[in-house]
Every structure is written in structure tokens, then in C-alpha cells.
Amino acid sequence: MKNIKLRNKILISILFIICLFLFKNINQVKAASVPAYRWPIGGDNANETYMDYEYYGIAGQAPVKDGKSGREYKVNNKLWPNEKAYYAKCESHNGMDITGINGHTYKVVSVCNGTVIATSAEYGGNPSTNYPDRNQRRTTAGLNDGGGYGNYIVIQEPTTGRCFLYAHLKGGTFKVSKGNKVTAGQEIATMGSSGDSGHMHLHFEIRKSKEVTINTAWGGGYHRFQYANSTSNLDPKDYIGSSPKVVRQITVTKPSKTKYYEGTENLNLAGAKLSVRYNTGIIENINLPNNNVKVSGFNNKKVGKNTVVVEYAGQKVTFDVEIIAKPQPEIKYVAAKREKVTFQRYFKYRQINIYFDKPVTLGNAEPTVTVRVQNEVKTASYAGISDDGKKLMYKIYNNEFDIFTEGMMYIDCTGTVLDKENKKIEVDCKFKNLTIGKLYKCELKHTFSAIINNGKGDINGDGVVDGSDASRALRIYACRMSNEELDEIDKKNIDKADVNDDGIVDAVDASIILSYYADKSAGVTLEDDKKILKCDINSDNKVDVYDFNLLKLKIQNAVYEDTFDLNEDGKLDNDDIEFFRNVMYDLGSRKRN
């Protein structure tokens, strides 16, 4: 039993030691991420306060900030109108300065539990006791002022031995005195500007021990503190929490582009920057545009000054841009002269060229070119600008007009182009030029039907209808006129020679054979002839507007007849119109002028 008890005691002891180690480790981890002490300002206004001057406690070394030696307050001169940048060469600073808004009152609170071990109130010789807000630089008289600290309180934390020095306190506001115990967050005095201070602020120091804080040899002189330096002091920033982060002020840097043309340009924020100053003294720069920053007030239609409003975290700042009235390009040159426009004719289209005596650009849109023939008005399509910029080209396709449209083309070019200086050039040309011809040559050589359908024409029986058959036809005609005998071949094939079926063979037959021969050489096929035959609805051996109108009428009336079913699909519809058009376009052609 005794042994078991002993073993249990040992086990419990080991466990306890392990727990201690674990606990210690956890504490260390905590110390690294969580501030050991609270912010030394309490009350409702605490979130207005911020650090305006950092710790520069490097022994024997002058602080250097922004390339300048010595003390430089970062206070905002708008909030502190009397404060100027203050430099004290070769002087280190071993605490942190905390300030707020000029004129506001701030409660200084203890950052930890502890005991008040010294205050300036114990020393009647401290002039600040009698001057609650006495500001005096070291360059002025009255150095016997708590060593420059003015009204101060020193509180020691029993667990660490660290001493916390609160200085420049407002005289007559002390809530504690030497020997008092205080708790973290307890108000001890009001922020002031006593001692060596240029503006209301709390000078806050953390010293490692009482020995490096209080000078026990002090005997009533002006200085009761040990010298502060990097071996005696800790940088408060590493130990205390910060005031709640609140945007104190925003300022804006204008964008690079501040002039805009009326109506055309959008706000360009390149180069614009929002400088956000927090109560903690930290300044953050935000490049614009930024999703969290609202920018409004830009109106490119409002000529003159535009005030652009930039909003962030409930605060607004503005900058001005200028909207310049867009110069109305003056008309310097009117391209309305007849000789400035020419035409070129191609197989399928006409090209309309507008010439300028200097290079132009189109601006927002190319000019419009319309072409009217009879009652049909078509818009020519823009076809580009020449490499030298002096010629605008337009095309109008022959097929854009109805197949039976013919007549003079009236061309109307209107609009504007711009020259190199952005000056407007008016294009205003009206003129008539080429005619557009009707389709012709789409007619059926009905006299070929005997050749095509009945195999006539091949008199010599060599399988082709050609020039030698024509000469045979002529010879037959000559023999008949002179009562000469025909040769055997002619005698046998005399029926084939009457290609127009009029009962006699004569010069007309010879010319039809020659004509047929010429057509075959030109590529006209039997199929083509059949198509033309179908389209010749009124059977006058020509395909023309009369046939077309008959066809359209028949389709409108919707009465089916084989004759009109050109594509032979059993219906009368637009496909038949298409068939007709295709025959005309394929087998007919525009008359040239």
C-alpha cells in the first residue's frame, strides 16, 4: 500500500510538471500574437487616438525617420494647427506618443494591474504641478520639469516588475497617488501637454524594472528618472494593443488625366491614389479605381469644372477635372465637285470613287452613297479607303436592282469625313452618270426547235450542224433556182435542210443553220433553250417583263397551271420567281451603255 501511494504521488508530480510545461508553452505562444497590455487610453474617445510618434530607443543613435534626424511628429497639421515638425538632433525617444483630436478629452488608463510607485505630484518642485497644460520645449527655460515628462505617473506590474510611465499628463487630473493599487483599464489621469511637449499627447514608456526607472539617488533635483535607453526600455508597440482602427482622414491624389473632351471620354483614374489615415497613425494608400472606393460626380456632358467625389469609409474628398467643349470641326472643304467622283464599271458591280485632295479618315461613320434608278433607291456599300487616304470607294451591285430596271443612275453622296487635323470635310455630291441597262439577249431562237427537236440541220449526216451544212442548204437553194440536179446526199437529206419548217429550202435555212452553229460555239445548250422556253410564258419568243408580270400575277391569284410551274415542283410560289430570275441572270445580260 505504501509503495502504491508513493508511486501515485510520483506520477501525479510528473503529470503536474508536464502540465506546467504545457501551460508555459501555451503562454509563450499567446504572448507572440496577443498584446500583453491594453491600449493606454480608455473611454468613448479612445478610438480617436493613435500613435503619432514611435519608439526610437536605440542607444547612442539619433533617430532617423524620413531621412531626417530626430523627433518628427506625424500629427496632422489640420488637427493640430499650431504644431510644426519638430526635430531634435541626436535625441532618441524611448516611448510611444499617443494623441487624438485637438480639443477632445482623453482618459489615460493603466494598461495592467499594478501599483503606483511614483508620481510627479510628490514633488512640489515640478513646475507642471502648477501649470496644468504648460508646454515647454527644452530650448526654453524651465527644464526642471520632471525631466521633461511634466506631470507623470509610474505604475509597476508586480508579476513582471515592469514599470509603466505615463507622462505629459494634465495637471490637476490625477485619479491615483503613490501606493495605490490599480487594475487594467482604470483611469489614472487625463491626457495633457505638460512638460516638454508641443501638443496634447501621452508619452508612454515601458521599463524593464524599477531599478532602471527610479533614480534612488535623486535628491530633489529636476530629474528623478534613470536615463532611458534600449537596455532599460521596451518598445511599447510590441506590447500594447492598438486603438480600434478607424479611418481618421482620407486625401486624394488627382489622376494624371484631368482634362476631358465633352461627351466622349470617360473618367480615367490612372494615377489617382487615395491616402487613408487611420487613428493608429498608419497611412494606407489605395490606388484607384478600387471596388471599395465610390467615385461619383463625373459627367462628361457638363462642360467646365467637374467635381469628382471620392467616398471611402463614410468620408468624402473631391478633386476637380475639366470638361472641355468638344471643338466643332469647321468645314474647310466641300467635296461636291463633279470631278471629285468617278465610276468604274465591273462585270457585276459599279464602283463609285470619291476623291479628296488630301488624306481623310472616316470619323464616326462613312458617308452614305445612294443610287437611284427609276423609282428604285439602293445604298451602295462602303468598300474601303485607298492607302493614301484620298479615295473612298463604294460598290453597287447590278443585281441589287430589279432585273427589269433600266435607266440613268442618280448618285447621291452625303456625310462627312475628317482631315488630319480632325476638321470636318463635308461630302455632298449629287450627280447622274451611267445608265443601268435592262437584261437583253434572253430570247428563244424558236427557229432552232426543228434542229433541236426534230434532228434537222445535219444535212451531210456527219453528226454536227455546222458551216458545211449551211453551204449544202445554200447549194440546194441554188440548184432549185437553176433547176440543176441535186447530188445523192442532198437528195436524200433535203428534208433536213428545211430547218424553219416553211416547206422550202432557201437562204433563210442556211442562215439559221449558221446562227445555230454560232450559238453552239458560244456555249448555249439545249437545256438553256428549254429553260428560256419555259420562261417565255406569253410565247412571243422573248423572256421579258411581260412574262415576269404574268408569272407574279398568277402566283398572287394562286391558281395552279402547269405552264407557270417553272421549276416543276407542283406548286406556284416564290421558287418559280427565283427560277425566272436565275434564268434571266444566267442567260440574259445587262445591256451595256
**Contact residues: Zn ion, CB under 5 A:** 95, 97, 203
Identity of the residue, 59 or 478, whose beta carbon is nearer to Zn ion in the bound complex: 59
| Least distance CB 236 / Zn ion (angstroms) | 10
Q: Which residues partner with 276 through β-bridges?
A: 250, 284
Identity of the residue, 230 or 351, whose beta carbon is nearer to Zn ion in the bound complex: 230
CB 86 within 8 A of CB 198: yes
Strands 247-253 and 273-278: antiparallel
Identity of the residue, 167 or 514, whose beta carbon is nearer to Zn ion in the bound complex: 167
Closest CA to 176 of 155, 199, 158: 155
Identity of the residue, 75 or 288, whose beta carbon is nearer to Zn ion in the bound complex: 75
Q: What is the DSSP letter of 492?
A: H
Identity of the residue, 92 or 493, whose beta carbon is nearer to Zn ion in the bound complex: 92
Identity of the residue, 193 or 500, whose beta carbon is nearer to Zn ion in the bound complex: 193
Q: Provide the sign of the torsion angle of the four alpha carbons 111, 117, 118, 119, taken in this order.
A: positive
Identity of the residue, 50 or 298, whose beta carbon is nearer to Zn ion in the bound complex: 50
Identity of the residue, 86 or 431, whose beta carbon is nearer to Zn ion in the bound complex: 86
For residues 585 and 404, what is the distance between their CA atoms, to the nearest angstrom?
11
- DSSP readout, 147-163? GGT-EEEEEE-TTT--E
Task: Give the count of alpha carbons within 13 A of 406, CB side only.
Answer: 12
| Least distance CB 76 / Zn ion (angstroms) | 17
Identity of the residue, 281 or 415, whose beta carbon is nearer to Zn ion in the bound complex: 281
Return the C-alpha cell found at 307: 467635381
User: How far is CA 335 from its chain centroid?
Assistant: 37
User: How far is CA 539 from its chain centroid?
Assistant: 67
Identity of the residue, 152 or 319, whose beta carbon is nearer to Zn ion in the bound complex: 152
Nearest residue (beta carbon) to Zn ion: 203
| Least distance CB 70 / Zn ion (angstroms) | 12
CA-to-CA dists, residue 241 to 39, 51, 476, angstroms: 5, 11, 129
Strands 181-182 and 96-99: unpaired
| Least distance CB 44 / Zn ion (angstroms) | 24
E strand intervals along 208-267:
233-234, 247-253, 259-261
Closest CA to 510 of 453, 456, 443: 456
CB 142 within 8 A of CB 136: yes
| Least distance CB 325 / Zn ion (angstroms) | 56
Identity of the residue, 52 or 366, whose beta carbon is nearer to Zn ion in the bound complex: 52
Closest CA to 505 of 522, 517, 493, 523: 493
For residues 511 and 514, what is the distance between their CA atoms, to the nearest angstrom?
5
CB 341 within 8 A of CB 413: yes
| Least distance CB 95 / Zn ion (angstroms) | 5
What angle separates helix 467-482 from helix 507-521, to the nearest 10 degrees? 180
| Least distance CB 260 / Zn ion (angstroms) | 48
| Least distance CB 71 / Zn ion (angstroms) | 8
- 67 by Cβ neighbours in 10 Å (0-12 / 13-18 / 19+) ranks as exposed
Q: CA angle 198-200-205, nearest 5°?
A: 90
| Least distance CB 54 / Zn ion (angstroms) | 10
Return the C-alpha cell found at 546: 411581260
| Least distance CB 162 / Zn ion (angstroms) | 18
| Least distance CB 99 / Zn ion (angstroms) | 10
| Least distance CB 167 / Zn ion (angstroms) | 7
CB 202 within 8 A of CB 141: no
Identity of the residue, 171 or 457, whose beta carbon is nearer to Zn ion in the bound complex: 171
Q: CA angle 205-208-214, nearest 5°?
A: 75
